[in-house]
């Protein structure tokens, strides 16, 4: 089917960071852009030309209402998510479940709701915004790592199902990003935790790496590449010397790469 010059793009988590940067670049491309936020009325610096709608990914009724409100979607960028850290032993079950509802199940359900229309129209792009931690796991980030690995797994398996219908599915894995996410990360650490010292060391290094990280705009540029590619790749990585570290991962044992990641974070 011929591709229209302007499409409808739905970007979750659009009030700040990567989501805001993605909406801005898509508006510049002339698309109709819908951005989501849990509380759109609180957005103080909206991107001109973006329509904001409410979406709570932890609430399936909210996900369905959002999809119905937006209507036909040509491009879906699953960006919204929560960052979580803490010793594995000390992560509350309810917190881990909430993380997966937001980072995984909400994104999966929203994708399920917009895919039939993409398939019927013969065109679509789905981009999962993940994290390089899914490829290079880090201690004390187990729940977050697992959630990002899960969305990448869904995306990788989905690609073949929808490719014959003109729908491309990709994961974008950013490395360290300077978006202020350190201030919004949920943390779980007992006062008497035996892991307290090492956890604090990891967290300090993580915050430092993120403060020196790439901009949200650079990640948005990579998301745009995935959207506009005639045949999108399964994975796009950006930041944290991605080309080098992924090359090293192919050359060296996984155990060595895990030690390198740990050392980079003071462990």
Domain boundaries in the chain? 8-264
- What per-residue confidence (pLDDT) applies to 182? 63
User: What is each CA distance from 53 to 16, 37, 46, 58, 159, in whole angstroms?
Assistant: 14, 6, 12, 15, 28
User: How many other CB atoms sit within 10 Å of the CB of residue 73?
Assistant: 24
- What per-residue confidence (pLDDT) applies to 185? 87
- What per-residue confidence (pLDDT) applies to 244? 84
- What per-residue confidence (pLDDT) applies to 2? 39
- What per-residue confidence (pLDDT) applies to 211? 86
Question: Contact, 238 vs 174, CB < 8 A?
Answer: yes
Whether residue 144 lies in the annotated active site: yes
Q: Which of these is catalytic: 52, 123, 144, 236?
A: 144
Lookup: tokens for 108: 């999966």
Which residues of the chain register pLDDT less than 50?
Answer: 1-4
Per-residue pLDDT reduced to its tens digit, 59-90? 999 999 999 999 999 999 999 999 999 999 99
CATH 3.40.50.720 fits 8-264, yes or no: yes
User: How many other CB atoms sit within 10 Å of the CB of residue 186?
Assistant: 15
Question: Contact, 175 vs 242, CB < 8 A?
Answer: yes
> pTM here?
0.93
């Amino acid at each position: 089917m011929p591709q229209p010059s302007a499409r409808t793009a739905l970007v979750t988590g659009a009030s700040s960071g990567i989501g805001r940067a993605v909406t801005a670049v898509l508006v510049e491309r002339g698309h109709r852009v819908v951005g989501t936020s849990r509380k759109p009325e609180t957005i103080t610096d909206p991107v001109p030309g973006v329509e904001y709608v409410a979406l709570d990914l932890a609430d399936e009724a909210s996900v369905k209402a959002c999809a119905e409100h937006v209507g036909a979607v040509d491009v879906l960028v699953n960006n919204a998510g929560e960052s979580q850290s803490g010793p594995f032993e000390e992560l509350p079950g309810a917190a881990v479940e909430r993380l997966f509802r937001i980072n995984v199940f909400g994104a999966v359900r929203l994708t399920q709701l917009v895919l039939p229309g993409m398939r019927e129209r013969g065109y679509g792009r789905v981009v999962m915004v993940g994290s390089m931690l899914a490829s290079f796991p880090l201690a004390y980030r187990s729940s977050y790592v697992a959630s990002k690995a899960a969305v990448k797994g869904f995306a990788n398996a989905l690609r073949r199902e929808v490719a014959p219908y003109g729908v491309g599915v990709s994961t974008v894995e950013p490395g360290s990003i300077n978006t202020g996410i350190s201030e919004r990360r949920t943390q779980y650490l007992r006062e008497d935790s035996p892991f307290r010292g090492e956890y604090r060391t990891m967290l300090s290094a993580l915050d430092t790496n993120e403060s020196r990280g790439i901009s949200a705009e650079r990640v948005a540029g990579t998301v745009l590449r995935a959207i506009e590619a005639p045949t999108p790749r399964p994975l796009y990585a950006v930041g944290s010397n991605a080309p080098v570290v992924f090359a090293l991962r192919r050359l060296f044992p996984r155990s060595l790469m895990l030690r390198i990641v740990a050392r980079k974070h003071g462990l």
